[in-house]
Amino acid sequence: MNKIRILSILILIIFSSSNINCQNRAHRYSAFHPGKIWKDSDGNHINAHGGGIYYEDGTYYWYGEHKGDDSKAHVGINVYSSKDLYNWKKEGIALAVEKDPNSEITAGSVMERPKVIYNKKTGKYVLWFHLELKGKGYSAARTGVAISDTPTGPFKYLKSYRPNARKWPKNFKESSKREFKKGEIGEWWTDQWKKNLLEGSFVRRDFEEGQMSRDMTVYVDKDGTAYHIHSSEENQTLHISELTDDYLNFTGNWVRVQAGGQNEAPAIFEKDGKYYMVTSGLTGWDPNAARSFVADSIMGKWSALGNPAEGKDADKTFHSQSTFILPVEGKDDAFIFMADRWKPNNHIDGRYIWLPIEWENGKPIIKWKDEWDLSFFDEN
Ligand code: DGJ
């Protein structure tokens, strides 16, 4: 009897330890599984929403919004690192919310879509993100900037902007450069309103204070010039703005893109000297059909290429919204479309949709895959 008991205890120990090993092994990935729980090396679902990636010396750094059950910033901006893009280690909080209730990044503010770039001249890592002030909904429409000496931070918050105050866009008609007349915007969503929007009423309205900046990304061009791309004019029009040499301010050189096009969630990449941009439409946390554009230079002119998604649920971008397009290091023409599958009822459960960019007739295409790995780029 005793022998049987000892044997069964032994079997139990062996069985449960192999189970533990299985669980640990489950956190080593060798492929992407879009839409599934994606555990970091500690076994927790990665918490880096609306994110972007910066690469340096064999390591990718993924910056993203820490989310709890709501959409506010209660912790800040998380950073993870990876050598292979499948397995991620949590490095900590790159930019923490501040306790001071008077701080612009106090807990309860909104900090979205963080993107990091490195400035060779200053040796600083520069983090830009969409900032909304606590208790003010989405009305502040600002972009915030922070710097660090290392990619993992902690980053030091510098300030926030309404970009391009007192600067007209380069592609604005001379006749549009006039003082804003109270009431000139007109009744919302009427034909007159749309006409006034296209002609620049919101730009004039925000000329003194600076232009609205909500969904955003930053992009460093081959010559080292950095650009800030953001949804502006009540999310109706994209603005592309050149940043100063230190990447911390706006030069005042900016253009309006796709006026009235309602583009959010911009993500940019370059291939063979052409620039491509993927965006979403404007439906809050709900998914919609993505859009794609091409241009010969960042400042445009951008031409529409249509919805890049193909197949089932392409009209909803596979239930996700773009956030970044990542060039894979060491591979030619290998780009990963990164998107968020938002879970507005429990934001922490938001999922990540990473899919390879494919090409058809010179157009970037995104097709659903349950599972894929980087060898896809060698085979296609
Ligand atoms: C859509 C944006 O893309 C998100 O980043 C977020 O700002 C939500 N809107 C808020 O409704």
Q: What does the pLDDT profile of the chain (380 residues) look like in tens digits?
A: 455 554 444 444 443 333 333 344 447 999 999 999 999 999 999 999 999 999 999 999 999 999 999 999 999 999 999 999 999 999 999 999 999 999 999 999 999 999 999 999 999 999 999 999 999 999 999 999 999 999 999 999 999 999 999 999 999 999 999 999 999 999 999 999 999 999 999 999 999 999 999 999 999 999 999 999 999 999 999 999 999 999 999 999 999 999 999 999 999 999 999 999 999 999 999 999 999 999 999 999 999 999 999 999 999 999 999 999 999 999 999 999 999 999 999 999 999 999 999 999 999 999 999 999 999 999 88
Q: Is 224 inside a domain boundary?
A: yes
Q: Is 223 inside a domain boundary?
A: yes
Q: What is the pTM of this model?
A: 0.93
Which numbered atom of ligand 1 lies nearest the CA of 112? 5
Q: Is 134 inside a domain boundary?
A: yes
Closest CA to 203 of 227, 229, 225, 236: 236
Q: Give the pLDDT of residue 10.
A: 46
Closest protein CA for atom 8 of ligand 1: 284
Q: What is d(CA 34, CA 351) in angstroms, rounded to the nearest whole number?
A: 8
Contacts of 240 (CB under 8 A, 6+ apart): 227, 228, 229, 254, 255, 257, 298, 299, 300
* Number of domains the chain is built from: 1
Q: Is 362 in the pocket of ligand 1 (CB under 6 A)?
A: no
Q: Is 112 in the pocket of ligand 1 (CB under 6 A)?
A: yes
Cβ pair 211, 163 in contact under 8 A: yes
Q: Is 186 inside a domain boundary?
A: no
Q: Give the pLDDT of residue 380.
A: 80
CA of 130 to the centre of ligand 1 (A): 10
Closest protein CA for atom 1 of ligand 1: 284
Q: Is 120 inside a domain boundary?
A: yes
CA of 123 to the centre of ligand 1 (A): 32
Where does 80-215 have alpha helices with state H? Answer: 191-199, 201-205
Cβ pair 278, 292 in contact under 8 A: yes
**Sign of the alpha-carbon dihedral angle for 350, 237, 220, 73:** negative
Which numbered atom of ligand 1 lies nearest the CA of 214? 7
Q: Is 50 in the pocket of ligand 1 (CB under 6 A)?
A: yes
CA of residue 370 relative to chain centroid, distance: 22
Q: Sheet with 76-82: list strands edge to edge.
A: 49-56, 59-65, 76-82, 89-96
Q: Is 65 in the pocket of ligand 1 (CB under 6 A)?
A: no
Cβ pair 44, 35 in contact under 8 A: no
CA of 160 to the centre of ligand 1 (A): 18
Which token pair is 160? 């926030």
Closest protein CA for atom 3 of ligand 1: 265
Residues forming a β-bridge with 217: 229
Q: Is 38 inside a domain boundary?
A: no
Cβ pair 278, 336 in contact under 8 A: no
Q: Is 131 in the pocket of ligand 1 (CB under 6 A)?
A: no
Could you tell me the CATH number of the domain that includes residue 127?
Answer: 2.115.10.20
Q: Is 91 in the pocket of ligand 1 (CB under 6 A)?
A: no
Side chain identity, residue 28: R
Q: Is 7 inside a domain boundary?
A: no
Q: Is 129 inside a domain boundary?
A: yes
Contacts of 80 (CB under 8 A, 6+ apart): 40, 46, 48, 61, 62, 64, 88, 89, 90, 91
Q: Which domain holds residue 284?
A: 47-164+214-379
